[in-house]
Each structure stands twice: as C-alpha cells, then as structure tokens.
Amino acid sequence: MSAAVWSGKAASRAVRAEVCARVDALADRGAPPSLRVVRVGDDASAAGYARAVLRAARRVGVRAHLDALDADSDTDAVVAHVRDLNADASVQGIVLALPLADGVNDAEVIDAIDPAKDVDRVTASALGELFAGRSALGPATAAAVVELLDFHGEPIEGRRVVIVGRSNVVGKPLAMLLLARHGTVTLCHSRTPCLAGQTSRAEILVAAAGRPGLIGAAHVGPGAVVIDVGTTYAAGKVLGDVDAAAAAERARALTPVPGGVGPLTNYCLMRNLAALAERRVPACETA
C-alpha cells in the first residue's frame, strides 16, 4: 500500500476563510478582536512562534501586537504584565510565546491569563472546561488534528484512536476532543511497554512525542491514518515522529512534516480567538 499524503495546506485555507468571515462579522458589530503575543527574552523558537502567530493574525484581519519583555524580567513582572492585559478591555486574546526566559516560571504565568482571553486554552481553567465537557475549544494543535481528520472526511465515532504523547498541550486535550466525538481513545507515553503493540491496533494513530523516527512500519496497522504532530529541529531540518517512508507502506494516509498539522495550527488559534470574542457578543456565539 502507498499512503495518500494529507497536506495541511488546503485545510488551513478553509479554516482561514472561515475565521476571516467571523472576524469581519465581529468588526461589523463593533467588536473587532485584538490579540497580544507576550514574549520574554530572545529564545529562538519562542521568537519564531511569535512571528508565525502574528503572521496568521494579519492574514485573518486580526489586530495583533508583540509585547517583547526584557530577558531579565522575573516571574512577578511577567505575571503583572499579563494581569494588565487581562484588565485591558481592548484586548480579547493573550498568547504566550513559550518557552519564557530562564528564571520565569511558565506555569505561573500561564495560569495568570484570564481564561476568557486564553486563546490557546492552556490555563488549568480552560483545560478543565474542556475535560468537563463544558467547552469545545481546545489547544490549537489538538484542534488542528481534529480539523485535519474532518477536512478529509475521516470518521472519528467508534474508531480506535491511539495517541503517542500525554502532554497538557497536545496529547491529553486531543484525547478529550476525540472522546467528545466518540472515538475510542488510548494514550501512550514513555512508560508504555511494547509501544508498537498498542499503536499497530490504531485505525487513527497520532504521534506527538517529539522523537524523530519513533513510529516505524511495525507501529502502523494496515490501512491506518497516521497524523504526525512531531516537530523537532535538527541540522536545519524539521523532523516528524514518523518514519514516513516506512509508515507509507502500511498506512492509508499520513501527514507530512513539515506541511501537515503545522500550517493549520495558527489558524485554529485564530479560530479560538474569534470564538472567545464572540462569547462577548452573545448574538454571535458559535462555540
């Protein structure tokens, strides 16, 4: 079998068009959403993420601004900055470009974000809403995986889904999003014995471990859909978790890295921003 390659580009164009329309509708109602991206210091991956978010914001017509704080800012100073943004009625969304600087406690800053402005749904409160089934909004990367499946018409209900990775930003919230869609979900992690025994049973396999090449032919069942979330930067390249050539022999479809989940993620982030802004304009509310 040679797998179909599910690029994220067409799906990201569709999400972008949907978000543009929602942002326009908010602007027509006098409530255009605006976003602040908070970065501390000069970590290269945080800077790259901030640039990508600002670019996606521009492309959907969202006013977005980078708040670049000094590398020597401490946790209290960053928390105080986030609280100022919470109190600023002209700001509807706050995103942190992680990692923050050395000496800043990321978790404390994350939980300082007002959940109503938590665009990437990373606060304990936003995750709690998702886990309790009180909100359908999930972190952008997890939402992008569901979006890709939907875009390609892949049913989720009743399917055996195996996710490799149990982080709070990808694996766990993705499990909740798929469970809400009635998938039968298994989470694997670094202490899972015989990983291939679990993953090869999957009809939908999601790799989100950040370990290049972790998923080989033996990990993929015949006819599976394989979504590769992994992005590891090495020697000037971006590497996924899946050995694509090996997996393609058994999978029905797989996503490339780069160009699969990645392009969709920041438009899903903008969709979360639109949804949070709509909650403040009740007649607009859709999520």
How many residues make contact with ligand NAP (CB under 6 A)? 26
Taking the C-alpha atoms of residue 137 and residue 222, their distance in angstroms, rounded to an integer, is: 32
Q: Segment contacting ligand NAP (CB under 6 A): 10-18, 98-106, 125-133, 168-176? A: 168-176
Written as one letter, the residue type at 244 is A
Q: Segment contacting ligand NAP (CB under 6 A): 61-69, 82-90, 208-216, 218-226? A: 208-216
Query: Applying CB under 6 A, which of residues 167, 184, 186, 198 lies at the interface with ligand NAP?
Result: 167
| Cβ-based nearer residue to ligand NAP, 188 or 226 | 188
149: tokens are: 């499946």
| Cβ-based nearer residue to ligand NAP, 71 or 187 | 187
Please report whether residue 164 would count as binding ligand NAP according to CB under 6 A: yes
Query: Applying CB under 6 A, which of residues 166, 181, 252, 271 lies at the interface with ligand NAP?
Result: 166
| Cβ-based nearer residue to ligand NAP, 73 or 266 | 266
Site string for ligand NAP, 257-286 (x = CB under 6 A): ----xx--x---------------------
Could you give the dihedral angle defined by the CA atoms of residues 98, 99, 101 and 107, in that order, rounded to the nearest 10 degrees? 80
Query: Applying CB under 6 A, which of residues 72, 155, 190, 249 lies at the interface with ligand NAP?
Result: 190
Please report whether residue 189 would count as binding ligand NAP according to CB under 6 A: yes
Site string for ligand NAP, 225-264 (x = CB under 6 A): ----xxxx----------------------------xx--
Please report whether residue 81 would count as binding ligand NAP according to CB under 6 A: no
| Cβ-based nearer residue to ligand NAP, 156 or 209 | 209
Q: Segment contacting ligand NAP (CB under 6 A): 23-31, 159-167, 216-224, 245-253? A: 159-167
| C-alpha torsion sign, points 276, 50, 230, 7 | positive
Written as one letter, the residue type at 215 is I
Taking the C-alpha atoms of residue 55 and residue 212, their distance in angstroms, rounded to an integer, is: 27
Q: Which residues bind ligand NAP (CB under 6 A)?
A: 141, 164-167, 169-171, 188-192, 195, 208-211, 214, 229-232, 261-262, 265
